[in-house]
Amino acid sequence: MVTTAASVNLLKLLQDKATRLRIDSIRATTAAGSGHPTSCASAADIVSVLFFSVMRFDPKQPHNPANDVFVLSKGHAAPVLYSAWSEAGLFPREHLLTLRQTSSDLEGHPTPKLPYVDVATGSLGQGLPVGLGIALNAKLEKSDQRVYVLMGDGESAEGSVWESAELGGNDALDNLCAIIDVNRLGQSGPTMLQHHMEVYKARWEAFGWHAIVVDGHDISALLKAFDEAEETKGKPTIILARTLKGKGIVGIEDKEGWHGKPLPKEEADRAVAVLEKSLTGEADSWTPKLPDQRATPAVPITGAMPKSPYAIGGKEVATRKAFGDALHELGKVNPRVVALDADVKNSTFTEEFMTTAPQRFFEGYIAEQNMVGMSMGLAARGKIPFCSTFACFFTRAFDFIRMAAISQLNVKFAGTHVGVSIGEDGPSQMGLEDIAMFAAEPNYTVLYPSDATSAWAATMLAAELVGPTYIRLGRPNNPIVYSPDEKFEIGKSKVLRQGNNDRILVVAAGVTLFEALKAYDELKKGGIDIRVVDLFSVQPIDRATLVASARAAGNQVITVEDHYSHGGLGDAVQSVLSSERIPVYKIAVTEIPHSGKPQELVEKFGISSKSIVAKVKELL
Ligand SMILES: Cc1ncc(C[n+]2csc(CCOP(=O)(O)OP(=O)(O)O)c2C)c(N)n1
């Protein structure tokens, strides 16, 4: 940088802003009695340079979609983020002193309740996957928006970071710049690599990134590094900033044992007094760099929701296939719909979507955490991502699914190949805990369609609904039981068989619905009538239909499901009916399954019509 009066003033301004970020972080955490001032202090210069020189954003409109984006992946450094927005003029500095209070919007870790936060962070290793999703969205929108993700060095040991590193390099996301605050220390001790900057550099370069090592407390070196990042085309940039934990806080700099500890009042006052002495008075001369472009206008939906093409009694179709068919049609009418898949697109049938909208299909490869994180980033930016893989493989991304719940994101998950009915591939490929996982999140909608028509409807309903959604899909072909005109609703079940002399209610979904229908026919021959309900919506659940059906069918209920017993469909039904004192008998998979023919496994693991018939007879 050429030294001019203006550049000297800029350096002073950024130095002052960084000092104020440190002061605010100390004061806020001391007032809260908890928090991470040392993690804020190491990052203060990086955040100052980004917010007050590099990023183009409108501080009065944090929601403006044209703003450059900052993701604080090391979410425990929340005070430095809050302080930056306060410095930018969004809210008064005194508000920072409400940090971590029940009535304050400034939580211990950031959440999208704040208008300048896209996705909740605090579970380390999630910011980069999210940043990739936002960067992909900017490319899709042909926006010149840039995305900055700040990580900790301890955090960068997370596998999900390396999933993203690989995909970011592969996808040549040159609008993405990640920064690692390499302060040498984690929570309970030093990080693996401490200050071995050359090792970090070699690793990131091997993943296809432009890597820059910089002194993370040297403002002009940081400015130069961010310029270089912006000029780098064809690959993302990683800025490896060598820093000291607690930088600028007297007595604590680079010391172990200070992670997540606020300074006692007297020490805080002393540290602040020292920091205040270095202020030059330049900080208030900042003016924002506004984004060049206006927000892209919303793209309208171009047609009505397409209607299901399957006829009752027609060719048997798997629910996963109907999902793929529906997504393909949905993509034609709704330009906000995007699809992501983890190298199983020919099994989930999302490959059909690739033909509709190849630019809106994102191959996630076999990196499920990153795929879910990217979906979260896309959802945060207004897309409706349908993220699919075998249901069992979503378990490894559960922490992301959990953080998507905290973030209240509009992301859709489609899990295929559920239960023992997948057959020969065996237990490693069977989704048997997916309902438990998704329905554990109180704000997820969980749909479990049984035939192609209802799977089509579930896909359309998921697209219309605003909020996180899971659709459970099976591998085998099933008969079609609903006509294309059948109306499905979230939170509503279907009564498929009923009469005046029903003695037991059987609730099922997916392949077990067909077992329940077989059991109905079998029992009918012996003069026993049962009522059969297709649950369809596991969460929210159709309390009214379940209670009324149970009451009309002898006040006894059997549930049957291709899922483990704990946390599945049976538990969902039981939790509603237990308050009505109606007994529920669960039939579910209760042991680790095995390979075999689908129908053989349905029999062997006790979820077939035979088991239903036997249970009905036992109860009567
Ligand atoms: C996935 C996950 N594991 C553990 C934690 C608990 N934790 C919070 S901060 C931290 C240390 C982080 O170290 P680093 O990334 O180097 O950040 P620093 O605070 O040093 O900047 C740990 C282990 C967490 N928040 N998320």
Q: Does ligand 1 have an atom closer than 6 angstroms to the CB of 42?
A: yes
73 backbone φψ class: left, alpha, beta (φ>0; ψ -120 to 50): alpha
* Distance between Cα 109 and ligand 1 center (Å): 12
Q: Does ligand 1 have an atom closer than 6 angstroms to the CB of 469?
A: no
Which residues have CB under 8 Å from 478's CB, separation 6+? 316, 317, 318, 319, 450, 451, 452, 511, 514
**Residue 347 clears pLDDT 60, i.e. is over it:** yes
Whether 86 contacts 151, CB under 8 Å: no
Can you tell me which atom of ligand 1 is nearest the CA of 151?
A: 15
Task: Provide the β-strand partners of residue 71.
Answer: 149
- Under the banding of pLDDT at 50, 70 and 90, the label for residue 348 is very high
- Under the banding of pLDDT at 50, 70 and 90, the label for residue 294 is low
CA–CA gap between residue 500 and residue 502 (Å, rounded): 6
* Distance between Cα 155 and ligand 1 center (Å): 6
Token couple for 578: 């237990």
Q: What is the pLDDT of residue 469?
A: 98
Can you tell me which atom of ligand 1 is nearest the CA of 259?
A: 19
Token couple for 248: 């600028």
CA–CA gap between residue 40 and residue 75 (Å, rounded): 10
CA–CA gap between residue 317 and residue 161 (Å, rounded): 38
Q: What is the pLDDT of residue 298?
A: 67
**Residue 293 clears pLDDT 90, i.e. is over it:** no
**Residue 498 clears pLDDT 70, i.e. is over it:** yes
Q: Tell me which of 368, 433, 441, 561 is the catalytic residue.
A: 368
Taking CA atoms only, the protein residue closest to ligand 1 atom 9 is 187
Token couple for 310: 């399957």
Q: What is the pLDDT of residue 2?
A: 54
Q: Does ligand 1 have an atom closer than 6 angstroms to the CB of 181?
A: yes
- Under the banding of pLDDT at 50, 70 and 90, the label for residue 132 is very high
Q: Does ligand 1 have an atom closer than 6 angstroms to the CB of 513?
A: no
Q: What is the pLDDT of residue 574?
A: 98
CA–CA gap between residue 23 and residue 249 (Å, rounded): 9
- Under the banding of pLDDT at 50, 70 and 90, the label for residue 302 is confident
Q: What is the pLDDT of residue 3?
A: 65
- Under the banding of pLDDT at 50, 70 and 90, the label for residue 305 is confident
CA–CA gap between residue 114 and residue 103 (Å, rounded): 14
Q: Does ligand 1 have an atom closer than 6 angstroms to the CB of 182?
A: no
Query: ∠ CA 454-370-196 to the nearest 5 degrees?
Result: 170
Distance of CA 476 to CAs 311, 323, 581, 593, Å? 18, 13, 36, 17
Token couple for 5: 């009066």
* Distance between Cα 236 and ligand 1 center (Å): 24
Q: Does ligand 1 have an atom closer than 6 angstroms to the CB of 35?
A: no
Can you tell me which atom of ligand 1 is nearest the CA of 152?
A: 15
* Distance between Cα 154 and ligand 1 center (Å): 6
* Distance between Cα 394 and ligand 1 center (Å): 24
Can you tell me which atom of ligand 1 is nearest the CA of 153?
A: 16
Token couple for 509: 């979904």
Q: Does ligand 1 have an atom closer than 6 angstroms to the CB of 510?
A: no
What's at 432, amino acid-wise? Answer: L
Q: For 459-472, give one letter per residue: b (16+ CB within 10 A) or e.
A: bbbbbeeeebbbbb
Q: Does ligand 1 have an atom closer than 6 angstroms to the CB of 241?
A: no
Q: What is the pLDDT of residue 8?
A: 83
Taking only Cα atoms into account, the Rg of the chain, rounded to an integer number of angstroms, comes to 28
Counting every residue written for the chain, the total comes to 620
List, edge to edge, every strand of the sheet that includes 210-215. 69-72, 147-152, 176-182, 237-242, 210-215
CA–CA gap between residue 591 and residue 102 (Å, rounded): 44
Taking CA atoms only, the protein residue closest to ligand 1 atom 25 is 123
Q: Does ligand 1 have an atom closer than 6 angstroms to the CB of 183?
A: yes
Taking CA atoms only, the protein residue closest to ligand 1 atom 16 is 154
**What is the mean predicted confidence (pLDDT) over 435-454?**
98
Q: Does ligand 1 have an atom closer than 6 angstroms to the CB of 152?
A: yes
Whether 595 contacts 425, CB under 8 Å: yes
Q: Does ligand 1 have an atom closer than 6 angstroms to the CB of 164?
A: no
Q: What is the pLDDT of residue 280?
A: 95
Which residues have CB under 8 Å from 8's CB, separation 6+? none
| Closest among 123, 172, 171, 181 to 149, alpha carbons compared | 181
Q: Does ligand 1 have an atom closer than 6 angstroms to the CB of 460?
A: no
| Closest among 412, 282, 287 to 338, alpha carbons compared | 412
Q: What is the pLDDT of residue 43?
A: 99
Q: What is the pLDDT of residue 332?
A: 94
**What is the mean predicted confidence (pLDDT) over 169-192?**
98
* Distance between Cα 85 and ligand 1 center (Å): 23
Q: Mean pLDDT, the chain, as a whole number? A: 96
Taking CA atoms only, the protein residue closest to ligand 1 atom 10 is 187
* Distance between Cα 213 and ligand 1 center (Å): 22
Taking only the tens place, the pLDDT of each residue in 140-154 is 999 999 999 999 999
Q: What is the pLDDT of residue 296?
A: 61
| Closest among 377, 383, 376 to 359, alpha carbons compared | 383
| 166 catalytic per annotation | no
Count CB-CB contacts under 10 A for residue 571: 20
Q: What is the pLDDT of residue 188?
A: 98
**Residue 1 clears pLDDT 60, i.e. is over it:** no
Q: What is the pLDDT of residue 114?
A: 98
Beta-strand pair 317-318/477-478: antiparallel
* Distance between Cα 194 and ligand 1 center (Å): 14
- For a substitution probing ligand 1, which of 155, 192, 258 has the most ligand atoms within 8 Å of its CB? 155
**Residue 295 clears pLDDT 60, i.e. is over it:** no
Q: Does ligand 1 have an atom closer than 6 angstroms to the CB of 154?
A: yes
Taking only the tens place, the pLDDT of each residue in 561-593 is 999 999 999 999 999 999 999 999 999 999 999
- For a substitution probing ligand 1, which of 46, 47, 76 has the most ligand atoms within 8 Å of its CB? 76
**Exposed, middle or buried, 484 (CB in 10 Å: 0-12/13-18/19+)?**
middle
Query: ∠ CA 576-580-583 to the nearest 5 degrees?
Result: 80
Q: Does ligand 1 have an atom closer than 6 angstroms to the CB of 127?
A: no
What's at 436, amino acid-wise? Answer: A
- Under the banding of pLDDT at 50, 70 and 90, the label for residue 292 is confident
| Closest among 577, 516, 520 to 546, alpha carbons compared | 577
* Distance between Cα 124 and ligand 1 center (Å): 6
Can you tell me which atom of ligand 1 is nearest the CA of 245?
A: 20
Beta-strand pair 494-497/530-534: antiparallel
**What is the mean predicted confidence (pLDDT) over 21-46?**
98
